[in-house]
Structure 1
């Protein structure tokens, strides 16, 4: 068992959590911060010492584990404590920094549904509690005095950049199959390389993901895609993605047979993903923008590959894939629009950019231009010249917005009441407004009240 002082680093235990630990210790119980918050504190220390990137991750949650039984924790904190998960030993305590989960040291019983233990046994041993956890980097505990309890070498693995299961990897993944995606997500987010046996076990056990609820897969996949090292992880484990998205498998190794491309369809897509900001909808669109290419592939008489209609095919496939994983409708619809538009030419003119702005809005148009930039960067180096065109479109967009150009109905100098006053009724009002907006965007009419009303009157 390793037991040593943690480096005094960039992150510290919040005052509210410190007070919680102090209260438990004063009542005669052991109390430790545990799991991801400890991992991220140690990562911050390591990166401060060696200047490594990416920057420090702030812990998302501060979890506490204790030798106190649930009813003892409730008694210690009184009305500040809520029995949110007594079956599994969890009590939520209100602190000055927000709610914190306090869980009794425990042993897990058999896993029957590949997700949750059928029973939980409480223990007074911290080491027994840490032994049930998924990865060594998540199986560390830190107390108020900076003492690190690390029986499985999690700190060493962080220092070496390794992701390793606690105990036998097959057993860990067979207990809870979602750990397969969690492991991939940790690698993508933290830049940890899977230890050999852990990496092989991820692939060996991937079919178990069929037993996991789609909503849970969706949540882990979204975080994975936004990781700094998502490309490397996806390239290493396309078969895992293929369990819940079999449509992706034909992309793997698919030779595009075209001088514009130096990657197969899968690698082209992951390179594009790596060249986008970590925005979930954008990363998802980058991965799926060419999902229809294998089905749309044709070969001409010169042996050159073409993908006529691949955007429409990609839209249909992407829509179904996102529905299967229960993505929210607004997320799915945005991704599908980006996929539909990714190969569409936007003229680098006020009219061309204005029309796109009208259809998509500023936020979505900026995402589309980012996708187009990444798509082009994932082509053969001799054909990456579209970067200047995309930059010009962005310049035009910025100027139009700075000039307060009209691209939406709410910016029109007239509204429905104005047209009703002219005698229009029902659907005719909406049609007239759309016509006016189109003509303003195209530069055929000025966005001036008198000119717009005159046009309606004379039409």
Structure 2
């Protein structure tokens, strides 16, 4: 068993000592539901009412809530996160202490904050992110996050309809922002680059309806990674009413046409083209910016008419025939 020494930085104890007292170890825990122990000889040891709080679905600090949060400010976000994962209420004294000690969150690393916020968003009740704002905790996470977190419960509730996937839930939370702003908020939280990139794409694109026409759908497929295209359709389905009136019906057609495009194996990326840069150079085109522009122009033709994806046709369309570049 362990006993923590004095907390000097609002996050880590100065020292940790070992003890033979189980009770002393349990006193150092954050919440009553995490301060229970059991073995086959003595049975359940529950000195702080953890079982009762479990039955009553309550998050309550062990002892003084102010002291527990002062020791480690990350416990503030853990309280909200547990309430979201378990759908428990936060006991009044514990809730009040969150607002009181919230400024200490400035002492917590952004990485640890991001981990707790992500677990909250991935829970069964992501709408409880509102508690981070209501308690004033959001102000001490970062100024951009504080501004973005001012969402109503109604605006947050649809997040639970999104798949419990990190980039999807963060994109849903930040959907009111511009793409670059959303990326900046996540960058400040030391989020991984893949999540930042995916969130930026979704936040930038979800408001733009996709026309229920195969060329338009193939262009969107060309512009974003394949799995993210499916994520975009899912995202737009959840927020279809915000995209535009009646867009939900259009989206069903878009999904059906997308499946036909995939089933037919239509080319949607440069790697699918019947020619590549080496083919163009072999046919007489010099390397340089013009080569890339030509490939993109050919790709545009093929996105419009997949049947044009033939080597001979594309070389002629590029102004190349018999290995000689025509003027």
- Structure 2 length normalisation: TM-score? 0.89
* Equivalent residue for 1:244, pick from 129, 141, 146: 141
Q: Distance in 2 between matches of 1:442 and 1:266?
A: 42
Instruction: Describe the SS at the equivalent of 1:110.
Output: coil
Tell me, yes or no, if structure 1 residue 183 matches structure 2 residue 79: yes
Instruction: Describe the SS at the equivalent of 1:366.
Output: helix
Tell me, yes or no, if structure 1 residue 450 matches structure 2 residue 308: no
Tell me, yes or no, if structure 1 residue 341 matches structure 2 residue 205: yes
Q: CA RMSD in A?
A: 2.4
Equivalent residue, structure 1, for 2:159: 273
Q: Distance in 2 between matches of 1:145 and 1:450?
A: 82
- Listed as ranges, the gaps of 5+ residues in structure 2 are none
| Structure 1 residues 433 and 334, CA gap change in structure 2 (3 angstroms) | same
Q: Kindly state the Cα deviation for residue 234 of structure 1 after the two structures are TM-superposed.
A: 1.7
Equivalent residue, structure 1, for 2:21: 125
Q: Kindly state the Cα deviation for residue 401 of structure 1 after the two structures are TM-superposed.
A: 1.4
Q: Distance in 1 between matches of 2:29 and 2:281?
A: 66
Whichever structure has more strand as a proportion of its residues is: 1
What does residue range 73-152 of structure 1 map to in structure 2 within 5 Å? 105-143=1-39, 147-152=43-48
Kept in 1: contact 2:58–2:89 (CA 8 A) = yes
What does residue range 56-455 of structure 1 map to in structure 2 within 5 Å? 105-143=1-39, 147-231=43-127, 233-238=128-133, 239-247=136-144, 249=146, 266-267=152-153, 269-291=155-177, 314-376=178-240, 385-427=246-288, 428-443=290-305, 446-455=308-317
Q: Kindly state the Cα deviation for residue 266 of structure 1 after the two structures are TM-superposed.
A: 3.9
Q: Distance in 1 between matches of 2:317 and 2:160?
A: 49
| Structure 1 residues 385 and 198, CA gap change in structure 2 (3 angstroms) | farther
Q: Kindly state the Cα deviation for residue 290 of structure 1 after the two structures are TM-superposed.
A: 0.7
Q: Distance in 2 between matches of 1:399 and 1:442?
A: 15
| Structure 1 residues 417 and 106, CA gap change in structure 2 (3 angstroms) | same
User: Can you list the C-alpha shifts for 1:92-136, whole angstroms capped at 9, x where unaligned?
Assistant: xxxxxxxxxxxxx10001111111100111101222111101111
Deviates more, 1:201-210 or 1:106-115: 201-210
Q: Distance in 1 between matches of 2:55 and 2:175?
A: 37
- Structure 1 length normalisation: TM-score? 0.64
Q: Kindly state the Cα deviation for residue 288 of structure 1 after the two structures are TM-superposed.
A: 1.0
Q: Kindly state the Cα deviation for residue 445 of structure 1 after the two structures are TM-superposed.
A: 5.3
User: Can you list the C-alpha shifts for 1:216-273, whole angstroms capped at 9, x where unaligned?
Assistant: 1111111111111120x222331322322434555677xxxxxxxxxxx544541332
User: Can you list the C-alpha shifts for 1:36-95, whole angstroms capped at 9, x where unaligned?
Assistant: xxxxxxxxxxxxxxxxxxxxxxxxxxxxxxxxxxxxxxxxxxxxxxxxxxxxxxxxxxxx
Kept in 1: contact 2:207–2:242 (CA 8 A) = no
- Listed as ranges, the gaps of 5+ residues in structure 1 are 1-104, 254-264, 292-313
